[in-house]
Amino acid sequence: MRGQTNMILIVLVIIIFVGLIIVLLSLTDSFVNEEYTELYVNNLLLSTLRTSTGYTDRCETVSDTISCAFLTPGYRCGGSQTSCLELANHTLGKYMGMINENMRYYFVVKSADSNWIPVDEDGALRLEFGDKRVYSERVSRRVASTVIQKVQSGNEYNIEVSAYITFRNNE
């Protein structure tokens, strides 16, 4: 009788440990997936900004093109017929479309320096690229931000670029 009680107790303890392990492993999977998505979005922003555009002058990389569009939107890069603003919009659309077709994106470019706020005829200057619904709708989205530092005409500018990204299967 005593042997049977010990055997039942051992089986019960094993079942509790197996159940605990299953619960812990199921929780870990969701945390790893969230961390992976955050890492993916941050690396996506940085690699997109470092991508070469094929132009020279002020538009060598995507971050240079965005800076040019923000600081001098009418400037024409390396003999191009399009302005920096149009080139930045076209370049971001092209690169983001090549990376992942199941993704919607929205880039916001604004001054990162509270002492310097550029103003145009519509108020504080803020550039926006991509699908604005990603920013305005109540959908699950990931956000990555970085600051581009540019020196132009002897002045240093800090430009903040934020990428709002959602995946179509999350909607």
Q: How far is CA 149 from CA 11, 64, 71, 96, 108, in A?
A: 63, 10, 12, 22, 16
* Token representation of residue 164: 């709002």
Q: What is the mean pLDDT of residues 38-67?
A: 87
The DSSP H or E segment spanning 94 is helix 84-99
Rounded Cα distance, 53 and 75, in Å = 16
> How much is the average pLDDT of 42-63?
87
Q: What are phi and psi of 27, to 5 degrees?
A: -70, -40
Where do runs of H (alpha helix) occur along 51-144?
62-71, 84-99, 133-136
pTM for this predicted structure = 0.70
Q: What is the mean pLDDT of residues 102-106?
A: 83
User: Is the confidence at residue 117, as pLDDT, over 80?
Assistant: no
**Sorting pLDDT into bands at 50, 70 and 90, what band is 169?**
low
Report whether pLDDT(14) > 70.
yes
Q: For the CA atoms of the chain, what is the radius of gyration?
A: 25
What's the whole-number mean pLDDT along residues 32-41?
78
Q: Rounded CA gap, 131 and 108, in Å?
A: 11
pLDDT confidence tier of residue 123, bands split at 50, 70 and 90: very low
What average pLDDT does this structure show over 125-153?
Answer: 83
For residue 116, what pLDDT is reported?
A: 66
The identity of residue 70, as a single letter, is: F
- Whole-number pLDDT of residue 29: 58
- Average pLDDT taken over every residue of the chain: 81
**For position 146, what pLDDT does the model report?**
92
More confident residue, 28 or 123: 28
* Residue 28 pLDDT level (bands cut at 50, 70, 90): low
